[in-house]
A and B are shown apart, each in its own frame.
Chain A
Amino acid sequence: MSSKLLRKTASYGIFWIAVAAAGMSIDNSYYLQVLTFIGIHSILALGLNMLMGYAGQISLGHAAFYGLGAYTTAIMTVHYDLSPWLALPCAICLVILVAFIVGLPTLKLSGYYLGMGTLGFGMIVHIIFREWTSVTGGASGYVGIPPLELGAFSFSSSRNYFYLVWCTVLISIVLCQRLIDSRIGRALRSIHDSEHASKAVGVNTRNLKLQVFMLSAALAGVAGFLYAHFVSFISPGTFDFIVSIRIVTMVVIGGMASIWGALLGASLLTLLPEWLHAFSDFEMIVYGLILMLVMIILPQGLTRGILDIYERSHKKYFK
């Protein structure tokens, strides 16, 4: 086994030990719920990181895919009384199909224009969630989404759901990492650096951008599915423009083109509002200030910034 592979396997092992330790040691259901939300946000950030961090394509409408995943499972399980495990592949397929249809024209754009295109898509989907009352429940949302069950085993307890979500996070991490280490991953990074050069070496940039957009959307759909069955109630407000921006912020703050950065960004942006309750009316101001400070001090994101600080101090004290 090569040292790189060994390091990666060890990091997955350490990650799972940390998850298991948290699951076993934390009894407070509020903390477990917060950690579960971190997991769901991590899946969102991981997906967007593939698109933004690796392929260099921005999406300001990712909450739409998150919402589509959640609404599909909600409608199928509540309205049609189908099993959630049947709703999951349907939600993923629908989200991938929508990503394909949206991505085909919008991914011809780049930079600000791509941002505006995806932003517009996100807004349209949000309006559909809010206005198509007969199907989506309108502004009041969808209630009574059943908890997940696997035979006699129920995921209704916070602890069980926590394990389910973090297991999905681990699968997503391994999937993304495998992809990044493959020729597809190299091609994605080459598109990020220079699409022209990438084409010159024979990379089908249009197809690859579309494929990574669909993968990213699929992960957002899975996150939406997990969210819907966790909170059992969804409304359009959870999938609006601000949420799309928050997912982008998670990726940028954590550090683009870094798997662990996406997790770090998702953790920070989920935990900050919880920590800042003490500031009551000034909560959002302090939240914004902290994010500004992080970007000023560590412009490449937390992961790269922390690594740089470590490398500098290592050089200073050990050489």
Chain B
Amino acid sequence: MLRIRNLKCYYGRIIAVKGVSISVRKGELISLIGANGSGKSTLLNAICGLLPTWEGEIIFEEISLRGLSPPAIVKRGISLVPEGRLIFPPLSVMDNLKIGAYTMYRRKLHKNVLEDLEMVMTLFPVLKDRADQPAGTLSGGEQQMVAIGRALMARPRLLILDEPSMGLAPLLVEKILKTLAVLRDEGLTILLVEQNAQAALKIADRGYVLETGKIVLQGTASELLTDDEVKRAYLGKDYGDFYEGRI
């Protein structure tokens, strides 16, 4: 579904992504893990058209995304949940969600928008009670739900999430990731970028490890979870003991 070949991204003269190649197949949940500054968000911004200067190839459903604007990319079926949620605080939860449907809000699609609102409210029932509340007054977890719901309103075929666990309590992270797993099971393709490697790999089908702009490891989620290098660098050396209840 998404094929990236030898992608290089630049910030002026600085090269942030150095020839990354990844692929995402239809219906998969792919985790891209890496430390701060490894180029994860840059990669996502390039896919979504938010970073115009890149070299290489980004192919989505056999069409190159080169030169496409962010709205055109959203229309093609890629939605981004940005890092730090970036919801619109003064706007109500309902308005935040409706903005997600901006690219498909034509009169003939009005019914679809209402259906999608219902779907988001079913996925995150807490938002139903807070529909008229300014989104800025919600808790971090609820704001993340709004951000995911907003992205879903565009009816994406590929949902990209940039560190959805950032600043959330472990229980909420688990809840959010469970929801992503449900969406994947329903057929949605997901590219999940996370620092929380353990949580991300737990629900993923496959994963990539990004370090200083390069893919250094790739494989199935179970392979990566047991990889000594990943354990040492991202999961902590006592990861096994911790999750087996010895610490």
Contacts and interface: CB of A to CB of B under 8 A. Distances in A.
Interface of A: 183, 186-187, 189-190, 193-194, 196-204
Given A186-B95, A201-B99, A193 B74 contact: no
Interface string B31-59: 00000000000000000111000000000
Contact of A190 (B82, B88, B103): B88
28 contacts: A183-B98, A183-B101, A186-B91, A186-B95, A187-B99, A187-B102, A189-B88, A189-B90, A189-B91, A189-B95, A190-B88, A190-B91, A193-B88, A197-B82, A198-B99, A200-B48, A200-B70, A200-B80, A201-B79, A201-B99, A201-B102, A201-B154, A202-B70, A202-B73, A202-B103, A203-B71, A203-B99, A204-B71
A189 B89 CA distance: 10
A154 to B, nearest CB: 43
Contacts of B150: 201
B71 A193 contact: no
Most buried by A among B50, B99, B103: B99
Contacts of B71: 199, 202-204
A197 B81 CA distance: 9
Contacts of A204: 69, 71
A46 B105 CA distance: 26
Contacts of A198: 99
A212 B86 CA distance: 23
Contacts of B98: 183, 186
Interface residues on B, range: 20 to 34
Most buried by B among A197, A200, A203: A200
Most buried by B among A194, A199, A201: A201
B69 A196 contact: no
A281 B205 CA distance: 78
Interface of B: 48-50, 69-71, 73-75, 79-80, 82, 86-91, 95, 98-103, 105, 150-151, 154
A188 to B, nearest CB: 10
A201 B148 CA distance: 11
A190 B150 CA distance: 12
A186 B90 contact: no
A197 B86 contact: yes
